[in-house]
Amino acid sequence: MSSRTTSLKILQLSDAHLSADCAADYRGQNAEQNLERLIPRAKGWKPDCLLLTGDISEDASPASYQRIAARLKCLSVPVLALPGNHDDPDEMRKHFPQGPWRGPLAYEAGPWLLILMDSTTRGSISGSISQQALDQMDLLVERSSAKHVLLGLHHQPVSVNAPWIDRYGLRDSERLFERLDRTDRLRCIVWGHVHHDFQSTRKGVLLLGAPSTVANSLPGTERFSLDPAGPACRWLKLGAHGSVATGILRRS
């Protein structure tokens, strides 16, 4: 999908898995260095905003959030942040105030409404979204005059054909889809958690899973299998008329 008229350029950074210890190993990779190498590409792409789709930290340490927040400051754009199962929302919100910390976050930009939903459940790798949050999401969409909606969450609401992570997806995703099916303004759902580039559609809505900025798995594998292509992030161009163009950005 593509658009000649771009109204919003979003860069989605996901699953950075930073630790308090800069030298910590994550699946044989250094989270700090791999993120650092993506930053010049991210900056060069000139996004209008950043979307962090969770597991920003591996150990939920204050130091890890401080470092990534400081690093992203050089892009000088708004940062919207979602917690993942590794994150501590209370700690994370201190560094990323724009997130679904007291219910879903609504961020309006021209004809687009971005809704961020917290899909984490304390103590669980899998995700879920409460009935109350779904009610709040309905209200936000209903009250907004935006013509197009993008939904962001950490956990995948559909199978991504990778058993190692599909066993930890969003539980009760049918409840979410039942609500989403009530609007004809939803154009795209984006998530993290799956550590590979995933694309599909459902009832005309684009479904996108993001790669990780530290380590990715080859798609369709039973176990996590390190993708030699390395870390990456997703770019999105949301068109004024509802189109969604997207692709993957890797370090140069």
Applying CB under 5 A, the residues found at the interface with Fe ion are 55, 84-85, 193
Spatial distance between the Cα atoms of 134 and 137, rounded to a whole number of angstroms: 5
Please choose, from the candidates 140, 111, 141, the residue with its C-alpha nearest in 3D space to the C-alpha of residue 244.
Answer: 111
Tokens for 73, please give them. 């400051």
Minimum distance between the CB of residue 127 and Fe ion, rounded to whole angstroms?
8
For Fe ion, the closer of residues 18 and 149 by Cβ is 18
Minimum distance between the CB of residue 248 and Fe ion, rounded to whole angstroms?
19
Minimum distance between the CB of residue 44 and Fe ion, rounded to whole angstroms?
28
Spatial distance between the Cα atoms of 201 and 246, rounded to a whole number of angstroms: 13
For Fe ion, the closer of residues 95 and 193 by Cβ is 193
Minimum distance between the CB of residue 84 and Fe ion, rounded to whole angstroms?
4
Spatial distance between the Cα atoms of 149 and 181, rounded to a whole number of angstroms: 12
Spatial distance between the Cα atoms of 229 and 215, rounded to a whole number of angstroms: 9
For Fe ion, the closer of residues 203 and 223 by Cβ is 223
Task: For strands 232-239 and 6-13, give the pairing.
Answer: antiparallel
Tokens for 94, please give them. 């201190």
For Fe ion, the closer of residues 48 and 91 by Cβ is 91
Amino acid at position 43, single letter: K
For Fe ion, the closer of residues 96 and 112 by Cβ is 96
Which residue of the chain is nearest Fe ion when measured via CB?
193
Minimum distance between the CB of residue 162 and Fe ion, rounded to whole angstroms?
13
Spatial distance between the Cα atoms of 232 and 64, rounded to a whole number of angstroms: 19
